[in-house]
Homo-oligomer: A and B are copies of this chain.
Amino acid sequence: MLFIKTPVKGMPEQLPEDMVIREYVMRQIKDAYRLYGFNLIETPLIEHIENLTGKQGGENEKLIFKILKRGEKLAESGADDLCDSGLRYDLTVPLARFYANNMDKLPNPFKAFQMGYSFRAERPQKGRFRQFIQCDIDILGDATNLAEIELILATSEMLSRLNLGKFKVRINDRRLLKTMALASGLPADQLDTVFIILDKMDKVGLDGVRDMLKEEGFDAAAVEKYVALYQGMNDTYQSSRSYLTERGMTDFDPAVTDNLDEIIRVSADLLQDKAQIVFDPTLVRGMSYYTGPIFEVELETFGSSVAGGGRYDDMIGKYLGRSVPACGFSIGFERIFAVLKDNHFTVPDTHENVAILIDKKAPKEKVRTAIEEASVLRAQGNRVLISWRNSNAKFQKEQLKTAGYTRFIEIFKENYS
């Protein structure tokens, strides 16, 4: 029989030192959201193929790991019909199904929190795997911006606990994005193309956006008018209404800007100097299912985007045949883990870590005494490893020091301990 030592392509293995960090981060995230009244739930890793291919997953639907039918079902199937389930590629499709199936047992509004593996058959890259932890928080059944504010505050609590320094929350609204494009004379049926280009602003700059829009064949006057709306931007806007008014726009829905500006104002007041909350009219967010406010959270110290989300009122209700207001955040767990690991983060440890190393030839009574000593130390709250002393004890102790052991008790064959 041939055994294969390496993991399946793109599959992650977590070594002990990484798991210590990962476990710590997971607990901090779970504890923070629990404090804010979110409910941890779990949905299955395996989902109906019909639900996974319902056109809500965009490009991810091309990356599904499909599961072969079994037994009779497989025997009765043709080549095109081998699978009726697959591994989930996100937590949103399962959440919508879960909510429809369990709604009568859940509070309304329902504040959901999920953390678990998703799977995508993407090309593996350094630090990017085909199995990865996703972490989603969602408020279902609340159409008001209390949902957005709570999501921002809870996420801020989570980031504070991890000591990730100051962060910036960028906010925009899908409806304002549309208003700005339409008011400039860009065509309503090509807004997705416009936004894909606008989304590149931080890489190509405003001139780059102008060039790309023109290359795409949009009307030059419309492009100039559109680009003018983003001229001379900075990164400190606190009001979408002022922003638009100052640029001479009048034909926007004040209910939309007021809603957005209230989110910014209340969050900024409560978070004070922990975070900067800004209106960013260039923020797009990839998924087209967003219907209202959208966010992105960025760590200032590490220059890394660690969370994002928005309101998507038309999706959760698909299983129920009616609209369910919904607003959610995805926390980039794997990103946060990578930032902490790259910065040599050490998990705060309240235990003393003691390693008792016993010579393999030590007499039985000494082994027994060592086991008893370990019990006493553990009862005092110390973490104690009891292990045989290797012939290369120096290397062994170096390795254990790396793993956090600070105190060594060595039990020798003779009585020179």
Contacts and interface: CB of A to CB of B under 8 A. Distances in A.
A11 B88 CA distance: 13
Given A36-B378, A270-B371, A5 B41 contact: no
A343 interface: no
Contacts of A43: 7, 13
A409 interface: no
Most buried by B among A5, A15, A34: A5
A117 interface: yes
A82 B85 contact: no
**Majority secondary structure, A binding face:** mixed
Contacts of A68: 65-68, 82-83
A372 interface: yes
Contacts of A378: 35-36, 157
A96 B318 CA distance: 44
A292 to B, nearest CB: 17
A42 B131 CA distance: 12
Given A3-B50, A109-B387, A384-B35, A44 B11 contact: yes
B371 A109 contact: no
A107 B399 contact: yes
B23 A40 contact: yes
A289 interface: no
A47 interface: yes
B399 A5 contact: no
A201 interface: no
Given A13-B102, A36-B385, 6 more contacts: A1-B54, A15-B105, A37-B383, A46-B119, A107-B396, A270-B372
